[in-house]
Amino acid sequence: MEQLEYQEGRTEIAHLGKVPLIRRLTTDFPICNPSTLMGVGDDCAVVQPSSESEMLTLITTQTLVEGVNFDMMYTPLRHLGYKSAAIAASNIAAMNGTPRQLLVSIAVSNRYSVEALDELYAGILLCCKRYGIDLVGGNTETARAGMTLTVTAIGEVSRQAITYRRGAALHDLVCCTGDLGSAYAGLLILEREKVTYQANPNFQPDLASYDYVLERFLKPEPRLDIIQLLAEKGIVPTAMTDISKGLADAALHLCEASHCGCEIYEEHLPIDYQTSRVCSEMSSNLIPVSCALNGGDDYELLFTISQKDYDKVKSLTEIHIIGHITEEGMPASLVTPQNTTITLRAQAFQSNQP
Amino acid sequence: MEQLEYQEGRTEIAHLGKVPLIRRLTTDFPICNPSTLMGVGDDCAVVQPSSESEMLTLITTQTLVEGVNFDMMYTPLRHLGYKSAAIAASNIAAMNGTPRQLLVSIAVSNRYSVEALDELYAGILLCCKRYGIDLVGGNTETARAGMTLTVTAIGEVSRQAITYRRGAALHDLVCCTGDLGSAYAGLLILEREKVTYQANPNFQPDLASYDYVLERFLKPEPRLDIIQLLAEKGIVPTAMTDISKGLADAALHLCEASHCGCEIYEEHLPIDYQTSRVCSEMSSNLIPVSCALNGGDDYELLFTISQKDYDKVKSLTEIHIIGHITEEGMPASLVTPQNTTITLRAQAFQSNQP
């Protein structure tokens, strides 16, 4: 009967922000086990099974909330299942690792039928099969409303290959994979169609010309192909993270952990033509580079490599060299084609993106 | 815009039941990684870091939902934090393992302040410190309403000591730890006081004489002391699980996995006098043995040992020999003092228990 005791000096969670909140909550926790190599503060926790073991264990967990991280109006459950598994796998990739096991814990209201959960799990199965991941656990719980999904992935990486967010050094090259901003462009289309549908439920959307950006949003792929490619080419990035909340957010995390700044060249950002087309359709104020910097859900990789690896990377079409690391004290910044330097800020668009 | 497609042939989740649901959802998933020793179907997943490694990795994840698994009316946040970590640790103990790392993922509405989360994490910290567990990750997400907590624990156990639910053999002795039904008795008291409080908010409950059962419900302890004791005595149980949804549920799981039956003697069930007193206060129909069989939240251990270990166990005050294993095809059953045999059924009381 004492639940109201803690209301003195009330601070709103929204006021503090997510990253400072996690820091505040976890700052007092000591690390006491020698097996714990990395706790809170990177894409995964890192555990060494024994002090001699060559392979390290990676663990990541993430919660996705209906109405916050996904909208059931336009998210087929099969896609949601696939995407949940892909997000967890992407966090393992972000440490240069390979996902091996997955646990899925869901809380669902009675609005969902068993057949709906069959669809969700069919999507999870598809992603697991594609990437060789074993579903090894989880549970289902009743929820008062909606659906909350928590995915936990276990992966492995060798001591030689593990890549943290920290580790970028002065003059390292900044690279990213795939293209950026397209998932956000897909979300914009889905939100637009939702509004139209709510106004007129007989409306039949024509989404065919947006197939690429829609797939990017609804069914992202963890870049495990890049992890394999880097291994084949003998490249170990000096630092890495995945791009889940926009390039700006990822670059800021990487620079903060590595105690450095960076310069990213706007004209080198990989942006798909469909992303540009969606932007021009949506608003004269929305430029594609904003989608790349502040959109979310791309699940591409951002990493840095030593200049000595330049020759190995330059011909790889799925890897783009977009900038370089600057010294500590310098900001993470964007250099425009007009040679103006803009300091990056974390301002991921607030929308239905995980 | 296709979310309604799956409504044909709708089956209600409540109609199917939790365990059959998880079986249905996970049955198509193949195990493809040689590192996966145990997937869905025990208290933890089991992973071998390498084929030579002596130590195995245990992983368990569980979601707790406000209003379903806990009631904020009488659950102090600090206790909730402690209990969440304890539940995860108890699953590791159930495989004869030791918890090492914990990840906590929460979804909270803006009803909760930062200070409220401070309390939650203070409870998690207390449990982590007590049992030497490192908090290594997790995230916070916005929820539309209430709080949903997912705890994931990583533990370790040697190949020699790992204990599955399967493995009980004919004539093995059935043992349990601590006492049973007391957490449920605590819940009954809290529910009674809640009703009184709702009728008269000025009412000051006097809970002093229920201290033991309340602590059992609000702040359970994972029986890691028993895991250590078994190791010291050189005892490896033949099968084990934790008692989270009543003894009947635990015994049925163990017997099903081990392909055997069991006989449990009612007069050997360890029941605290406070549990008995609460029962007699509550209703003339509520008998303490029902709380032990069908109450939840005890987080004691149920395990079987070979008869050759009888001498090692008989003098240990925290371990009670309550029955023996019968052959395959026989039911899990309770033998009353009048020598009547009652077949156990899973009928965990439906209430606010995880």
A75 inside domain = yes
* Residue B28 structural domain: 12-158
Best residue in B2, B4, B5, B6 for a mutation probing chain A (most A CBs within 10 Å): B6
In the prediction, which pLDDT does B218 show?
A: 97
Selected residue with higher pLDDT from B351 and A331: A331
Percent pLDDT > 90 in chain B is: 82
**Is A353 an 8 Å CB contact of chain B?**
no
Q: Where are the beta strands (DSSP E) in chain B?
A: 36-38, 45-47, 55-65, 98-108, 134-137, 140-142, 147-158, 173-177, 239-243, 261-265, 300-305, 319-326, 332-335, 341-343
Mark yes or no for CB contact A36/B136 under 8 Å: yes
Total H helices, total E strands in chain A: 11, 14
Asked if residue B325 lies in contact with residue B169, where contact means CB atoms within 8 angstroms, the answer is: yes
How near does any CA of chain A get to the CA of B11, in Å? 5
Question: A41 with A179, same domain?
Answer: no
pLDDT of residue B8: 60
In a domain, B6, yes or no: no
pLDDT value at B28 more than 90: no
Please give the average per-residue pLDDT across B128-152, as a whole number.
Answer: 94
Contact: A136, B24; criterion CB under 8 Å = no
Q: Tell me, what CATH number does B23's domain have?
A: 3.30.1330.10
Residues 6+ apart with CB under 8 A from A216: A182, A183, A185, A186, A297, A298
Task: Fill in the DSSP letter of residue B351.
Answer: S
Q: Is residue B165 included in any domain, yes or no?
A: no
- Nearest residue to A153 (alpha-carbon basis) of A100, A82, A106: A100
Write out residues 62-101 of A within 8 Å (CB-CB) of B: 62-69, 72-77, 100-101
Interface of A with B in 8-27 (CB under 8 A): 8-16, 18, 21-22, 24-26
Which of these ranges, A201-210, A337-346, B70-79, B162-171, has the smallest mean pLDDT?
A201-210
Of B328 and A352, the structure prediction assigns the larger pLDDT to B328
Inter-chain Cβ pairs, chain A and chain B, closer than 8 A: 322
d(CA A177, CA A299): 9
Per-residue model confidence as pLDDT tens digits over B52-64: 889 999 999 999 9
Q: What is the structure's pLDDT at B122?
A: 96
What CATH number does residue A224 fall under? Answer: 3.90.650.10
Counting other chains too, the contacts that A36-41 makes at CB distance below 8 Å and 24 or more residues apart are A36/B100, A36/B101, A36/B134, A36/B136, A38/A164, A38/B136, A39/B134, A39/B135, A39/B136, A39/B137, A40/B135, A40/B136, A40/B137, A40/B138, A41/A165, A41/A257
Token pair in block for residue B130: 């007590």
Residue B348 banded pLDDT, cuts 50, 70, 90: low
Q: What is the pLDDT of residue A204?
A: 80
Please say which residue of A158, A191, A222 terminates a domain. Answer: A158
The strand pairing partners of A300, in sequence order, are: A243
Structure tokens at B13: 């989740």
Q: Read off the pLDDT of residues B179-217 as tens digits, 9 standing for 90 and up.
A: 999 999 999 999 999 998 889 888 887 788 999 999 999
B232-269 residue pLDDT tens: 999 999 999 999 999 999 999 999 999 999 999 999 99
Partner B contacted by A141 (CB < 8 A) = yes
Cα-flanking dihedrals φ and ψ of residue B128, to 5°?
-60, -45
Q: Is residue B1 part of a domain?
A: no
Indicate the residue among A158, A188, A212 that finishes a domain: A158
Domain identity same for A178 and A36: no
The residue type at A290? S
B331 touches chain A (CB under 8 A): no
- Tell whether A10 and A119 lie within a shared domain: yes
Q: Is A244 on the interface with B (CB under 8 A)?
A: no
pTM above 0.90, yes or no: yes
**Closest partner CB to B139 (pick from A10, A62, A128):** A62
Residue B289 in contact with residue B179, Cβ under 8 Å? Answer: no
Contact A115 B7 (CB under 8 A): yes
Let me know whether A141 and A191 are in one domain.
no
Distance CA B215, CA B117 (A): 21
d(CA B278, CA B281): 5
Q: What pLDDT is attached to residue A5?
A: 47
Q: How many angstroms separate the Cα of A202 from the Cα of each of A195, A205, B1?
A: 13, 9, 11
Closest residue of chain A to B39, computed from CA coordinates: A136
Cβ atoms of residues A137 and A61 within 8 Å: no
Number of structural domains (chain B) is: 2
Average pLDDT over residues B310-330: 96
Contacts (Cβ under 8 Å, ≥6 apart) of A269: A176, A180, A247, A289, A292, A320, A322
B150 and B189 housed in the same domain: no
B132 touches chain A (CB under 8 A): yes
Q: Are B220 and B296 contained in the same domain?
A: yes
Give the end of a domain, one of A102, A134, A158: A158
| Whole-number average pLDDT of chain B | 92
Contact B155, B92 (CB under 8 A): yes
Q: Angle at which helices B114-131 and A18-26 pack, to 10 degrees? A: 40
Residues 6+ apart with CB under 8 A from A196: A203, A205
- Which residue from B117, B103, B107, B110 is spatially nearest to B148, judged by alpha carbons? B107
Q: Does any domain span residue A168?
A: no
Cβ–Cβ gap B107/A30 under 8 Å: no
CA A14 to the chain's CA centroid: 21
Residue A351 in domain? no
Q: Is-contact A21 B117, C-beta < 8 A?
A: yes
354 residues of chain A, pLDDT tens digit each: 444 444 567 899 888 888 888 889 998 899 999 999 999 989 999 999 988 889 999 999 999 999 999 999 999 999 999 999 999 999 999 999 999 999 999 999 999 999 999 999 999 999 999 999 999 997 899 999 999 999 999 999 999 999 999 999 999 999 999 999 999 999 999 999 999 888 988 888 778 899 999 999 999 999 999 999 999 999 999 999 999 999 999 999 999 999 999 999 999 999 999 999 999 999 878 899 999 999 999 999 999 999 999 999 999 999 999 999 999 999 999 999 999 999 998 775 543 333
Based on the domain organization, do B261 and B286 belong to the same domain?
yes
Residue B138: is its pLDDT beyond 90? no
φ, ψ of residue A308 to 5 degrees: the values are: -65, -20
Of the pLDDT bands very low, low, confident and very high (cuts 50, 70, 90), residue B39 is very high
Q: Give the H or E element holding residue A325.
A: strand A319-326
Tokens (6 digits) for B243: 């008692």
B297 is written with which tokens?
Answer: 């939240």
Residues B103, B141 within the same domain: yes
C-beta atoms of B156 and A35 within 8 A: yes
Residue whose tokens read 């964007």: A334
Which residues on neighbouring strands pair with residue B152, listed in sequence order? Answer: B61, B103
Q: Are residues A207 and A65 in the same domain?
A: no
- The string of DSSP codes covering B101-116 is EEEEEEEE-TTSBHHH
Interface test with B, best of A115, A152, A156, A159 (most B CBs within 10 A): A152
State which amino acid sits at residue A120: L
Whether residue B305 sits in one domain with residue B194: yes
Residue B9 with chain A: CB contacts under 8 Å: 115
Whether A100 sits inside 8 A of B35 (CB atoms) is: yes
Neighbours of A336 (CB within 10 A): 12
Interchain CB distance below 8 Å, B118 and A6: yes
Query: In this structure, are strands A261-265 and A173-177 parallel, antiparallel, or unpaired?
Result: unpaired
Q: How far is CA A102 from CA A127, A317, B42, B300, in A?
A: 11, 30, 15, 27
Report phi then psi at A304, rounded to 5.
Answer: -120, 145
Same domain (yes/no): B279, B207: yes
Q: What kind and span of H or E run contains B14?
A: helix B13-16
User: B241 and B146 share a domain?
Assistant: no
* Closest chain A C-alpha to B312 CA, distance in angstroms: 31
Do A146 and B144 count as a contact with CB atoms less than 8 A apart?
A: yes
Cross-chain Cβ contact A50/B55 below 8 Å: yes
Q: Within a 10 A sphere around the Cβ of B74, how many other Cβ atoms?
A: 24
